[in-house]
Structure 1
């Protein structure tokens, strides 16, 4: 073991994971609690949550999270992890989820008895026994009010980094005040899932993290403070001082220590009293901390849904995507796009193709992707093929489920027109291109020419692929063709532990940085071994192919706008 150890957590919808790393970033130990496997019978959950479809509520029992902390640490102990060597803790929680503490909370947290279970001592500290989950969609009325309150969705995005969304905490708090006023009135403090978890280890209510706070629609990003007008909307003008007290102050630095670990964990599990608790952050910010992501690097998550994350110094908000404060680097932002239609849409096209002869279900799909040239332009004069494939209603753009196919001039995107079904063989390449084109369209104003290769067009420096789709060489190649990647496209493999690992790295950086100016990228980058976590899967930028997609990017945007106009008229 090299130097002190650091512990990172990930409190997700379905699991609580813990991972312990050494100062040289090597993983020492890990454990997890699977909520369905461990607690389904007790809490009546399914996939980690309870649902009330009549109201669109999706919630998690907070008691289950509390109980999981004792259990995950017991499992870490059983594996022989040297817990006494841990000097720092951080972690992540699912973004936007909120916990409502009552007036008993602070006293109970400060006076925990190591001879008793956490849950036995914290069962009476919650004003509401559930936490709204990120899948909750009960707040449409509140979203409408948030979008209109500052004048438009664009104004809300400019102030807070995002337009309103069902899952964002501001709309959830507003609904709580209106729908369950007794809960709101009995709430002394409101935590996010991340600061809730930090509070348990701190033995006090932890402040909300500077990055996670930007998933609430309440924080003024440019002003670095709570947005007074949005607080008024949430709590009424008279109720703003009370809401400020419930939310607490937000430290502007994502590093440093919040304080020493609670004596409960020292006495019960053998932590050192010197162990420090660093700020915990959201799961999306933690994901970009799972490697030293440099400015203009992008992570593309190709799971059931698709996500595009980029570290950028530019703040150019728009209602169709999210900007959040970077969790460690002041003045930088996390740019995020979320798509419901990712793997599900690709699988639907795959399943419409002839069945493969071998055991790989993607064999036929991949052959069609690789055998089809960009935009299916085989010879001079061929029309470029563009499409949208949405088995589910989509967020970006905000349209209902459906499939649309268009063609246009491949040289300049002119002559855009809708066309009929051109067959599943062409769909295979077009669906992957369409997903990547949407990401390129929305990130094009945030990228610049690669500093080490200024002769190349503006594009991401590197693209890291994660999730199930990252294992597919044809999908990786098509994403590289569309998005570029001056230094290549890489598959990132952190064993499904990106958020917990990001938390552990955050703890290490927060407590080992020489001063507040030492960046996360510099400190972690010096110790991070690429060969242990990433594999180059394609060259990324290809001269000619990249420009071909650029020629039709305007047509792709026009296609989306036409479909949007029909959907909303």
Structure 2
């Protein structure tokens, strides 16, 4: 995905995986910190979430009649913040954090057993991406001016899902035309390996590669809503 400082890559597949460029990492029990493969002065954070697209598909089947079109309309038609409803959906034992079960909360932070289908869909997707951002920030990731979210994986073809991702991270979301980004990345690294001995940096080696395409931009009201939520949430 050719990350730069401030970028975050989100792979939306069977499991959701998050990669972040870190300058000052904060190692934690949840997540991993590696040497940055393209910059010896930086680090790379990796987070894996087991309940990704399969959980989204399960909620789609139960709440949207198995239709991604209906699922997307629920995301579009339900306002930012979902009237205060939020949920954490761990159909199987999660990796980040180690937890299981479905946990729904209303605007007063009371646990509830169910919500309407529209609120369920929005609670799922907002809850997933809020978790991605929270755990990334715990590893030391910071959103800075110019931050881009680079999305790949099967769900990255759904612009309404990407819109929620953009709103949660308050950053534009970009995608690439190649569906198998891991193979493309291997080719980029091989190219860099051929020229690295001559002092060519990774960014210079792939400077002629196609740029990612802008998919969505954040709703201007999203950041204010997140700040209000954080002020009212003792967990942060």
Superposition TM-score, scaled by structure 2 size: 0.90
Once the 2 structures are TM-superposed, how far is the Cα of residue 338 of structure 1 from its aligned partner? Answer: 0.4
Matched residue, 1:208: none
Q: Tell me if the contact between 1:441 and 1:557 (Cα under 8 Å) persists in the aligned partners.
A: no
Matched residue, 1:423: 116
Alignment partner of 1:503 is 2:186: yes
Once the 2 structures are TM-superposed, how far is the Cα of residue 554 of structure 1 from its aligned partner? Answer: 6.8
Matched residue, 1:542: 219
> Which of the numbers 106, 114, 118 marks the counterpart of 1:407?
106
Matched residue, 1:320: 30
Question: Whole-Å Cα distance in 2 between the matches of residues 555 and 521 of structure 1?
Answer: 42
Q: Tell me if the contact between 1:293 and 1:521 (Cα under 8 Å) persists in the aligned partners.
A: no
Once the 2 structures are TM-superposed, how far is the Cα of residue 503 of structure 1 from its aligned partner? Answer: 2.2
Alignment partner of 1:369 is 2:75: yes
Matched residue, 1:337: 47
Once the 2 structures are TM-superposed, how far is the Cα of residue 376 of structure 1 from its aligned partner? Answer: 1.6
Matched residue, 2:175: 491
CA-to-aligned-CA distance 1:405-456 (integer Å, 9 cap, x gap): 1134xxxxxx532123112221111100011001111223421431x6xxxx
Alignment partner of 1:551 is 2:214: no
Quickly say closer, same or farther: Cα 1:514–1:395, change in 2 above 3 A.
closer
Matched residue, 1:110: none
Matched residue, 1:446: 141
Question: Whole-Å Cα distance in 2 between the matches of residues 548 and 391 of structure 1?
Answer: 28
Q: Tell me if the contact between 1:416 and 1:555 (Cα under 8 Å) persists in the aligned partners.
A: no
Matched residue, 1:260: none
Matched residue, 1:522: 204
Q: Within 5 A, what are the aligned runs for 1:258-337?
A: 291-337=1-47
Q: Within 5 A, what are the aligned runs for 1:232-247?
A: none
Count of residue correspondences? 234
Question: Whole-Å Cα distance in 1 between the matches of residues 158 and 233 of structure 2?
Answer: 25
Question: Whole-Å Cα distance in 2 between the matches of residues 514 and 354 of structure 1?
Answer: 54
Q: Tell me if the contact between 2:104 and 2:114 (Cα under 8 Å) persists in the aligned partners.
A: yes
Question: Whole-Å Cα distance in 2 between the matches of residues 354 and 326 of structure 1?
Answer: 41
Matched residue, 1:202: none
Q: Tell me if the contact between 2:64 and 2:117 (Cα under 8 Å) persists in the aligned partners.
A: no
CA-to-aligned-CA distance 1:294-326 (integer Å, 9 cap, x gap): 111111111111011112222211111111111
Once the 2 structures are TM-superposed, how far is the Cα of residue 557 of structure 1 from its aligned partner? Answer: 7.7
Q: Using CA pairs under 8 Å that are at least 6 residues apart, name the structure with larger relative contact order, 1 or 2.
A: 2
> Which of the numbers 468, 480, 487 marks the counterpart of 2:166?
480
Once the 2 structures are TM-superposed, how far is the Cα of residue 519 of structure 1 from its aligned partner? Answer: 2.4
Question: Whole-Å Cα distance in 2 between the matches of residues 303 and 557 of structure 1?
Answer: 31
Matched residue, 2:130: 437
Alignment partner of 1:466 is 2:152: yes
Quickly say closer, same or farther: Cα 1:535–1:468, change in 2 above 3 A.
same
Once the 2 structures are TM-superposed, how far is the Cα of residue 404 of structure 1 from its aligned partner? Answer: 0.7
> Which of the numbers 343, 347, 357 marks the counterpart of 2:57?
347
Quickly say closer, same or farther: Cα 1:399–1:519, change in 2 above 3 A.
same
Quickly say closer, same or farther: Cα 1:501–1:354, change in 2 above 3 A.
closer
CA-to-aligned-CA distance 1:156-206 (integer Å, 9 cap, x gap): xxxxxxxxxxxxxxxxxxxxxxxxxxxxxxxxxxxxxxxxxxxxxxxxxxx
Once the 2 structures are TM-superposed, how far is the Cα of residue 523 of structure 1 from its aligned partner? Answer: 2.8
Matched residue, 2:87: 387
Question: Whole-Å Cα distance in 1 between the matches of residues 12 and 154 of structure 2?
Answer: 6
RMSD: 2.1
The secondary structure found in structure 2 opposite 1:552 is helix
Once the 2 structures are TM-superposed, how far is the Cα of residue 543 of structure 1 from its aligned partner? Answer: 2.1
Q: Tell me if the contact between 1:372 and 1:429 (Cα under 8 Å) persists in the aligned partners.
A: yes
Q: Tell me if the contact between 1:346 and 1:431 (Cα under 8 Å) persists in the aligned partners.
A: yes
Superposition TM-score, scaled by structure 1 size: 0.39
Once the 2 structures are TM-superposed, how far is the Cα of residue 474 of structure 1 from its aligned partner? Answer: 1.1
